[in-house]
Each structure stands twice: as C-alpha cells, then as structure tokens.
A = this chain, B = another copy of it.
Amino acid sequence: MPDVESIRPFGPARSTIKGSPLSKEEIQEYDDFFKASCYLCLGMIYLKDNPLLREPLKKEHLKTRLLGHFGSAPGQIFTYMHFNRLIKKYDLDAYFVSGPGHGAPAVLSQSYLEGVYSEVYPSKGQDMDGLQRFFKYFSFPGGTGSHATPETPGSIHEGGELGYSISHAFGSVFDHPNLIALTMVGDGEAETGPLATSWHSNKFLNPITDGAVLPVLHLNGYKINNPTVLARIPHKELEALFVGYGWQPYFVEGDEVESMHQAMAATLERCVEEIRSFQKKARDSGQAFRPKWPMVILRSPKGWTGPRKLDDNYLAGFWRSHQVPITDPAKNPAHLKVLEDWMRSYEPDRLWDKEGRPDPKLRKLCPDGHRRMSANPVTNGGQLKKPLKMPDFRNYALEVEHPASDKVSGMVNMARFLKDVIIQNQNTFRLFGPDETESNKLAGIYEGGKKVWMGEYFEEDANGGNLSMAGRVMEMLSEHTVEGWLEGYILSGRHGMLNSYEPFIHVIDSMVNQHCKWIEKCLEVDWRVKIASLNILLTAVVWRQDHNGFTHQDPGFLDVVANKSPEVVRIYLPPDGNCLLSVMDHCLRSSNYVNVVVSDKQEHLQYLDMESAIEHCTKGIGIWQQFSTDAGHEPDLVMASAGDVSTHESIAAVDLLLHHFPELRIRFVNCVDLFKLIHPVDHPHGLKDAEWCALFTKDKPIIFNFHSYPWMVHRLTYKRPGSANLHVRGYKEKGNIDTPLELAIRNSTDRFSLAMDALDRMPNLGNRGSAARESLLNAQIKARNKAFEEGMDPPELVDWTWKRESPASRGKMSVP
C-alpha cells in the first residue's frame, strides 16, 4: 500500500490485532446498535418533531436553529459500544472520557440506550414523547449542552476546552485499582500542549494500587477546518511516537463497517487482556513495574457513515462533517431528501417499536446497573467521597510568645501537618506539584509519602531522591498535567492539593477557570453530589522573587479566580504560620470550592498564637489590637494588610509612625479571607457595610498594603462607604533583580513608603508631619543605598521585630 493510502481512513479494516471474536449474529447486533446510536446523534442535531421519521421528513420537523457536532460521534460510539461487550464479559468497572470537542451526542446516545438517561431525566423516557424531548432539547436554550457537561450522566470531563482528557483519566484511576478509564482522545485535542505531554502520565501509574487508562486516539483526520497533524504523518512515525511515549499502540483503521466491528472487538479485547495481565503480574508478585500499557489508534472517517459528498463537496471523511453536516435542509429540498435518506439508512423503523421503545436487543448489548459506563458512581465522585481523616491542626501550632518577634517558616511547619494528612489518608489524598515541592519547603511531607516514580531508577536516587513506586506525591514539570491529575482525582471522589510557584500558576489559568465552571454548574444539577475542593497553595511569592527577577513576579492569578462565580471561589492570605494551618485545615475539609491560599515559604515573623489564629481566620478579617493604639476609640488612621509579607511591612510602618507620633491613634486591620472585602451581595463572605465601617471607619484614611495588584482591592470595595479614603498599595509590575526592600520600594509597599503615605493623608500633623516625612524618606534612601552596595538588605531592617508593649495580651488579637 502506498504511504499516503496507508493513512487514509477508508476501505476494509486494517488492524494490528487480527481475530474474529464476533459471530455473524453479533456483528449484526453491534451494527444495529451502531446505527441506532448514530441515528440518535442526527436526531439530536436536527429534529424537534417526528423523532422516528414515522412520517416523511418535512422542514417543520427540523429545529429552527441547527446546532451540534456530528464529526467525531460515530467513532466514539463505535469505541464505547464495543467496550460494553468486554465490560459484560469480564465484569469490568469502567467509565468513558470523551476527549474530542463537542462530543456530547455520542455519549448522550449511549446513556440513552443504556437507559441511564431516562432514569436520571424521566421526562426523556424511552418512548416517543421522551425521544422527541431528548432530541429537541439538545443544544436548545435551557437544554442539553453539546459537550459532556455536568448534566451528562457518566461525565467527569466536559471537554469544552481541549487537552485534558488523558490527565483527567489518570487522576481518576489513581488509587482506584479496579477502574478502567476508557479515554477517547480527539486528534485535534492531541495537538494541544497539555495533551501532548500528558501521554507521559504512564510514568506515574502503579499497576498494583492504581487502575488503568485505555486511551483510544481517534484519528478522524480533521479539526474544525484543518487536517490534524497526527492524521497526516507516515504510519511509521505515528507508531514510533506512541512507542516513544511508552505505550503499545494497536491500530484499527478503515471505514468498512463489518470488518471494522471485528477489528475493534478483537483489539479492545486484547487491550483488556493485557491490562488485566499486567495488573495480575504486579499484584501477584507484589512488585510494581511500568508495563507498556496498550492503547488503540482508531482511524475512521470524520462523519463516518454519513454521505461522502454533498453536491460537489466532500462531507464524510472531510472537515465539513465536523459540526452540523448538512446545514440547509430547511431551505434546500434536495438536501432535506439527502438528510432523510441518510437518517433512514440507520433503519429507525426496525430498531424502534411503534411506541418509540428501542428494540430490547439493543439494551441487551449494554451492561447492567452500575456497570453501565454512564452510571458508574465514580463519575459522580461526591457519592464516593469520604471526609479526610484530619489530624488536629492545633497540634502543629507554632508558639508565639511575643507577636512579631520570631521568624519561622510557616510552610516548613505546615509540612508536618500535611505529612500526617498523607499518612492518615493513604488511599484518598495526594499532593501534586510541578517539581517545586522541595523548593517550596514542603519536603517534610516526604516522610509521609514519597514521590511516585515509575521511570528507571539510578543508584543515586537512594541519596535524597525520595522516589517510590508507591508514593503519595505527584511531581512532573507540567502544571497542566499535575492540575489535570488533581482534578481527575477529586472529581472521582478523593482529596488533594496542588502546590506551585505563584508566578507560574498562570500557566493553568484556563484549566482552573474551567474547573470553576464545572463545579458551579454542578450546583444546578440535583443528582450531583459535591466533591472535595480543589486546593491550590501558592508560594514563592512575588515579594520574595527579587533574585529571580521580573519573570517570576506575578500575583495576578487572584484576579482570574475572583472573576469566577462567588459560589465556588475562595481566596485566603494567611498572615502567619498558625493562620496558614487554620486556613489549610478549613480548605481540606471543604467541598466544591476552588480554594486559593497564598503563603510565602521563607521564614517570617509570627503574630498570632493558635487560639487567636483560629479566631482570626474564622472571622476572616479583624482588628489586631496588639499593633493598634486606638484602644477602642475612633482612630486617626487605619493601617490594613492582606498577605504575609505585606503584613510585615505594614506593621513595621506602624512602628515607624509611632516612633514619630507616639500619640497617634492607629488601628491595624488584617484580612485573611479576601472576599470579606466585597459587598455581601456579590459574595457570601462579604462584610455588611456596618461591619465594614466598624473596621475601616467611614471617613478615616486607610493605607491598605496588599499582596497582589492593588486595583484588585478597589475592584472589591468600590461600593464601600468611604472607599475614596482607601489607599491601596501592592505590586504594580515594577521589578527586576532587586533586594526585597528595593522591590517593595519600587512598588511603594515598603514600611517607609507606607508610613509616608499615611502622613500624606494626615495634613493636620502640620510641620511635625513634614519633618517626619523627610526623616522617613532619608531613612529609606539610606537603606536603599546600603542594600545596593551590599547586595543585601540592611540587617536592621531584615531583623526588625516589634518591641513595643502591646495593649492586648501576648500574641492575641481581638475582633470587634
């Protein structure tokens, strides 16, 4: 066969695995199932009435607006239904991930024929009326989406944005040793970066403790309007690519339906046999290894079984069948006839009875109960989720004898807590990160669970490698992959956390965005049970990225998150180590949120003992009396902060101000829970305006030192009384290779700038104010010059602690 012919999806089946597992009768049965399924897809796209074509098709039966995608549906159906045979034969625990874009018609058709859809949505029963509604409300306002949205039974992967099918699938099978995720990957999707690297997930899967992913790469040849890369490279290259990714690829190629049935049945069966045999070998021996897991490369035409041409244009086997294949049947009678003939070629008359019930023979090919892939409980993970066994976080408390006097890394300390979370939840909690866990000072957790590594081992690894085939920490230098794993892990009923450098979390803005949308929509789907929150710990923060330079300075992920629905997003900026513990405990216990926690990994001053920290974090925002001098009176000035480094500089600024004006009534406010700032109309955590005024006053100047871009606070507070008195400082995109002090000065967030800022808002201080301002400016210039000469900040600044007598007791803060 000439080279190009060998990569065209036409003709009798060509397949790596030979064999004829199906009898003639079975071929007929599967072919009927295939036809019924394809018919359902066209029905969804086209019909609002006359669902089984019991009358000649007229334009009145067509939906007014035609929407939906047919192109990838036949190939997906073909895979799904042939896998059903093996689920029945081997009593497999499996579910289906639909990777190709707009793949909903395929999976909806299967759920409908399995009976699951009608069980979940009784108005769409297996009768004429139910079918009519099933069709009409597809891609219809208020109806069913054209992706595998949360409303779709059996889906944990919507696929609106492409690229995450494989990483989601892997996440779902970790610690689910008997689960198989049958994962369809579109050849369009396969071009994305996240998908291209996620094939390497096989280096992180343990055949003893984890289940298996069976990928079916669907080369239907076209994206929206272009051929796909993988469908247009020589056969040998394609095979080499997947061998190189560590898989054993089995090809099934062609479009002649009968031989394709045999080839697909034989190939999938071989895959299941191999998966089971690898698992048995590992489990019997107790010795994990990395098998060459099987995968299928299915090359079938886009729009398979549809007309090859419409007028002079290619349709099936070309990109024109991507979406609605015939776009104008209502206006073009000839095209209406083509559509009708096409639909009738699937023999709806024979495959449904008069009442609109599908032939019972179709149902017989499906598994039963929870073995039906669209009814697998793993796809409604909240059902399986058990609360984490939580060690008491108070046991890991940092002692705070005097507030702001000792420096400790709250992160190193928190690792002790996370270590025990790992130990106590050996099959239901994993920690994820892109090769930064140790750098993020969380290495302590490796005592609870090492890093999963199924690649080759070298002798050096024993020397601090912390690798294990049975680890609990997942690290790969792909934020996309680890985030996808984590999503799959929690969507299928478990718990986890991602840790990442703050600046590079933008790499997965879009993934987090999509996950927020998924869990927000789940709230509207009554049969969906809440899953564990997606916890994201950001560290290596902007203010300590001085030496890494400008590329490592971006705290703007918070803006992306804050745009998502208030129902599902939470942002915490714990100011110290005990608050970090309290916040993290809360996040790990919570459901259905995306929790973002920002905390630097370096050593920092500690402010609150554990009791106070719990109280403060529970309130989310409060006055810190130990750094305040207003003693319950109306203050002259409010100094406020959110974020650990920001809080440090803000308190140091208070110290400077009190040095010059000991009589000043300063109120210090710290915010942990960022959404406290917003109006309660816009977020359930929002303070009432009266509460806001009790903290921030109605008319006094507020100098707010913020961790991230300052305008974010303005976006949150524009409705607040006295918001014109709110002066926010934060990262203004000014940075380079600087010392921490220099970086802060460039962004006006250092103690000197904050104190001068405060003086500028209190003109009543008169000449004394001006003199103090000048003195502060001189001190700033001096410190700055010193830092530049030494290459390090002056010790007297770095080692600054709070030495004033606090009005409140040790380490305490109080909340009004």
Contact with B along A547-560 (1 / 0, CB 8 A): 11111101010011
Are B788's CB and A141's CB within 8 A? yes
Could you give, for residues 240-266 of chain A, a 1 whenever the CB lies within 8 Å of some chain B CB and a 0 otherwise?
Answer: 111111100000000000000000000
Stretch touching chain B among A212-220, A231-239, A689-697: A231-239
A 133-164 binary contact with B (CB < 8 Å = 1; else 0): 00000011111111101000000001011110
Q: Which one of B48, B226, B711, B737 lies within 8 Å of A145 (CB-CB)?
A: B737
Among A752-799, those with CB < 8 Å from B are: 787-788, 790-792
**Are B509 and A504 in contact, with the CB atoms below 8 A?**
no
Residue A506 interfacial (CB < 8 Å): yes
B563 A556 Cβ-Cβ under 8 A: yes
Q: Are B318 and A435 interface neighbours, CB within 8 A?
A: no
User: Contact between B556 and A560 (Cβ–Cβ < 8 Å)?
Assistant: yes
Contact of A193 among B240, B478, B718 (CB under 8 A): B478
B142 near A733 with CB under 8 A, answer no
Given the contacts A318-B460, A737-B142, A198 and B193 also touching, CB distance less than 8 Å: yes
Stretch at the interface among A270-278, A449-457, A622-630: A449-457
A737 with B560: CB separation less than 8 A = no
**Using a CB-CB cutoff of 8 Å, which residues 324-366 of chain A contact chain B?**
none
Interface segment out of the listed A510-518, A531-539, A632-640: A510-518
Chain B residues with CB under 8 Å of A665's CB are none
Q: Which residues of B contact A453 (CB under 8 A)?
A: 226-227, 232
A144 pairs with B193, CB closer than 8 A: no
B residues in contact with A227, CB < 8 Å: 453, 455, 458, 461, 465, 467
Judge if A564 is at the interface, Cβ distance under 8 Å: yes
For window 442-488 of A, CB contacts with B under 8 Å fall at: 451, 453, 455-458, 460-461, 463-465, 467, 475-481
Residues of B within 8 A of A456 (CB): 3-4, 7, 232-234
Interface stretch (choices A59-67, A391-399, A410-418): A59-67
CA distance A65 to B791 in the complex (A): 7
| Contacting residue for A506 out of B191, B510, B742, CB 8 A | B510
Identify which of A314, A451, A723 gathers the most chain B CB atoms within 10 Å of its CB: A314
Asked if B64 and A791 sit within 8 Å, CB to CB, the answer is yes
Q: Does A618 contact B (CB under 8 A)?
A: no
> Does A225 touch B at the CB level, under 8 Å?
yes
Asked if A203 is an interface residue, CB under 8 A from chain B, the answer is yes
- Least distance between A416 CB and chain B CB atoms (Å): 19
Taking the closest CB of chain B, its distance from the CB of A580, in whole angstroms, is 22
Select one of B238, B439, B563 contacting A225, CB under 8 A.
B439
Across the interface, A549 reaches (CB within 8 A) one of B63, B146, B317, namely B146
Choose from B3, B234, B551 the contact partner of A161 (Cβ within 8 Å): B551
Q: State in angstroms the CA–CA spacing of A759 and B224 once bound together.
A: 45
How many Å from the CB of A157 to the closest CB on chain B? 11
CB-nearest residue of chain B relative to A739?
B141
Chain B residues, Cβ within 8 Å of A8 = 458
Nearest B residue to A565, CB-CB: B733
Which residues of A, 82-127, contact B by the 8 Å Cβ criterion? none
Interface string of A189-207 (1 = CB under 8 A from B): 1011111111010010000
Residue of B with least CB distance to A716: B711
CA distance A549 to B243 in the complex (A): 37
Are B551 and A438 touching (Cβ within 8 A)? no
Chain B's closest residue to A712 (CB) is: B715
The residue of chain B having its C-beta at the shortest distance from the C-beta of A561 within the complex is: B556
Q: Is A688 interfacial (CB 8 A cutoff)? A: no
> Are A737 and B141 in contact, CB atoms less than 8 angstroms apart?
yes
A 378-398 to B, binary, CB cutoff 8 A, 1 in contact else 0 = 000000000000000000000
User: Nearest chain-B residue to A236 (Cβ)?
Assistant: B243
Q: B317 contacts A460, CB within 8 Å?
A: yes
Question: For the complex, is A631 an interface residue (Cβ under 8 Å from B)?
Answer: no
Query: Judging by beta carbons under 8 Å apart, are B142 and A736 in contact?
Result: yes
- What separation, in Å, do the CA atoms of A438 and B225 have in the docked complex? 7
* CB-defined contacts of A225 to chain B, threshold 8 Å: 435, 437-439
Q: Does A269 sit within 8 A of B, measured CB to CB?
A: no
A801 to chain B, nearest CB (A): 22
Choose among B64, B188, B792 the residue that contacts A435 (Cβ–Cβ < 8 A). Answer: B188
Residues on the B chain within 8 Å of A455, using CB? 227, 229, 232-233
Q: How far is the CB of A746 from chain B (nearest CB, A)?
A: 11
A313 at the interface (CB under 8 A from B): yes
- Which of B65, B160, B197, B244 has a CB less than 8 Å from the CB of A238? B244
Whether B549 pairs with A436 at a CB distance below 8 angstroms is no
A550 near B521: Cβ-Cβ < 8 Å: yes
Q: Which residues of the partner chain B approach A742 to less than 8 Å between Cβ atoms? A: 141-142
- Known contacts A240-B244, A551-B517; is-contact A481 B193 (Cβ 8 Å): yes
Given the known interface contacts A229-B203, A714-B715, the answer about A737 and B144 at a Cβ–Cβ threshold of 8 Å is yes
Residues of B within 8 A of A504 (CB): 161, 510
Chain B residues with CB under 8 A of A241:
240-241, 243-245
If A142-B737, A149-B549, A196-B197 touch, does A477 touch B191 (CB 8 Å cutoff)? yes
Contact partner of A196 (CB less than 8 A), chosen from B196, B314, B506, B565, is: B196
Report whether B507 and A506 are in contact in the complex, using a CB–CB cutoff of 8 Å: no
Chain B residues lying within 8 Å of A314, measured Cβ to Cβ, are 460, 463
Q: Is A374 an interface residue (CB 8 A)?
A: no
Nearest first, the 9 closest Cβ-Cβ pairs linking A and B are: A241-B244, A160-B551, A193-B193, A232-B455, A196-B197, A240-B244, A506-B510, A196-B196, A191-B477
Q: List 10 A-B pairs, Cβ < 8 Å.
A: A142-B736, A149-B551, A225-B437, A225-B438, A227-B453, A241-B241, A313-B463, A314-B463, A507-B509, A711-B715
